[in-house]
Amino acid sequence: MENNFTTNSLVEKLYCSKCGKVYDYKQIQTFATCCEKPLVFSYHVSNNISKDVINSKDPSIWKYASFLPILDAKNIVSLNEGNTPISKIEKLGELIGIEHLYVKDETGNPTGSFKARGISVAVSKLKELGIQKCIIPTAGNAGGALAAYCAKAGIHATIIMPRHTPKIFKEECEIYGAELILVDGLINDCGNKAKQINKDGDYFDISTLKEPYRLEGKKIMGYEIAASFDWELPDYILYPAGGGTGLIGIWKAFKEMITLGWIKNKLPKMIAVQSSSCAPIQAAYKDPINWKENFKPQMSIANGLAVPYPFGMDLMLQVIKESNGSICTIQEEKIKDYVHLFCKKEGFLISPEGAATYMALKALSDKGEIRKENSVLLLNTGSGYKYIENVL
């Protein structure tokens, strides 16, 4: 198969998301040590750049390589991630009176989730920087994706995962040859274990937003959404927010495309969806200073939502504020019912995280906050088949 990868990266700088201090993007970077906040890339974007920079021959996220931070195409590690479909959801739209309801389904990505997008860019950058060992704490899907991409790149991957994670996620890591370590607790406990293992700095830590590369891969969802809707965005996007990289990345893409002059209408309101078992964004929104003191996170059958202390909290709250969006917390005990509802009404085995977005939409529709005439996009971040033991 012909390799159609090209990269004329328009990367401009890498900077601290809080104070703006610039870091050398040609060197290994993690997070902004000045403020202990995520690092973010910017690009030389202007309205004289046409859509001709999109490589139509490439079926993956790398068709947008101009807006990704890989400097040499030979370093790209791809398994044809991205380019996922957007479909109209008619029966479930009718059920709650929303005429223009759509879902972007990330099931078709390598290893069955949107995590492949960010991991493709991160592993490509590891290859470009000559890194041979990496480590990641994960709620499930990111571990499988990292194992697969590291297998292709010839990089050693160590995956730290909660012991209660469904069996298929564990087996997925092992079959790709990764080292798997199980921990009692949630992803924050896995993060602590990763720090302990990596105390001497032998590994590159790919924890969510503690490196700047995964965000750029997730960002491409925003470009794909705009292209699918002929550059006119929906009124609302409901996103299941755990670590929040996708929420932040999609919004970042929209802002880049505004500068490029590619988007024709106003930007959507971004709705961050969380489970009642683990809703740190809601807690931080209500009490920005002291929320961690009284926060008591629990497990969720939507593994990706069980992220108690997301490193990108400030950026998520910024997206919600800038988009005039909101946070919607849904009932954990009803997620399973809505997975079944999707199956029976639409013939679609959605992930628990995806089902949570429809639950949130129903709640907002019942309150009159989202109306019949609004166009709404839900994000299904991964395959429901990987969660069957959770939702039966």
> Rounded CA gap, 256 and 258, in Å?
5
Exposure string over 156-187, b if 16+ CB within 10 A, otherwise e: ebbbbbbeebbebbbebbeebebebbebebbb
Q: What are residue 133's DSSP bridge partners?
A: 156
Distances (CA, A) of 145 to 152, 157, 177, 284: 11, 10, 12, 29
Reduce the DSSP state of residue 157 to 3 states and report it.
Answer: strand
> Rounded CA gap, 339 and 287, in Å?
32
Looking at the structure of the chain, the number of domains it has is 1
Q: What is the 3-state secondary structure (H, E, C) of 89-138?
A: CCHHHHHHCCCEEEEEEHHHCHHHECHHHHHHHHHHHHHHHCCCEEEEEC
**259 CB contacts (<8 Å, ≥6 apart)?**
45, 46, 47
pLDDT tens-place string over residues 253-264: 999 999 999 998
Domain limits at 254?
86-110+217-391
Query: How would DSSP label each residue in 260-277?
Result: HT---SPPPEEEEEEETT
8 A C-beta contact, residue 121 and residue 211:
no
> Rounded CA gap, 15 and 19, in Å?
8
Domain presence at residue 254: yes
Average pLDDT of the residues of the chain: 95
8 A C-beta contact, residue 104 and residue 377:
yes
Domain presence at residue 135: no
pLDDT tens-place string over residues 140-184: 999 999 999 999 999 999 999 999 999 999 999 999 999 999 999
Q: What is the pLDDT of residue 7?
A: 74
**80 CB contacts (<8 Å, ≥6 apart)?**
59, 60, 110
Beta strands in the chain (DSSP E): 11-16, 22-23, 39-43, 86-88, 100-105, 133-137, 156-162, 179-183, 204-205, 236-240, 269-275, 326-330, 375-380
Domain presence at residue 90: yes
Q: What is the pLDDT of residue 5?
A: 73
8 A C-beta contact, residue 76 and residue 124:
yes
Q: At which residue do the structure tokens 């290893």 appear?
A: 111
> Rounded CA gap, 226 and 274, in Å?
24
> Rounded CA gap, 246 and 223, in Å?
12
Q: What is the value of pTM for the model shown?
A: 0.96
Domain presence at residue 362: yes
Domain presence at residue 336: yes
Q: What is the pLDDT of residue 1?
A: 41
What CATH number is associated with residue 93? 3.40.50.1100
> Rounded CA gap, 342 and 184, in Å?
32
Domain presence at residue 63: no
The sign of the torsion formed by the CA atoms of 26, 225, 116, 281 equals positive
Domain presence at residue 154: no
pLDDT tens-place string over residues 300-352: 999 999 999 999 999 999 999 999 999 999 999 999 999 999 999 999 999 99
> Rounded CA gap, 166 and 154, in Å?
27
Provide φ and ψ at 272, rounded to 5°. Answer: -85, 120
Residues (pLDDT < 70) of the chain are 1-4, 6
Beta strands 11-16; 39-43: pairing state: antiparallel
Q: What is the pLDDT of residue 2?
A: 52
Domain presence at residue 300: yes
Distances (CA, A) of 152 to 119, 204, 326, 338: 12, 17, 39, 36
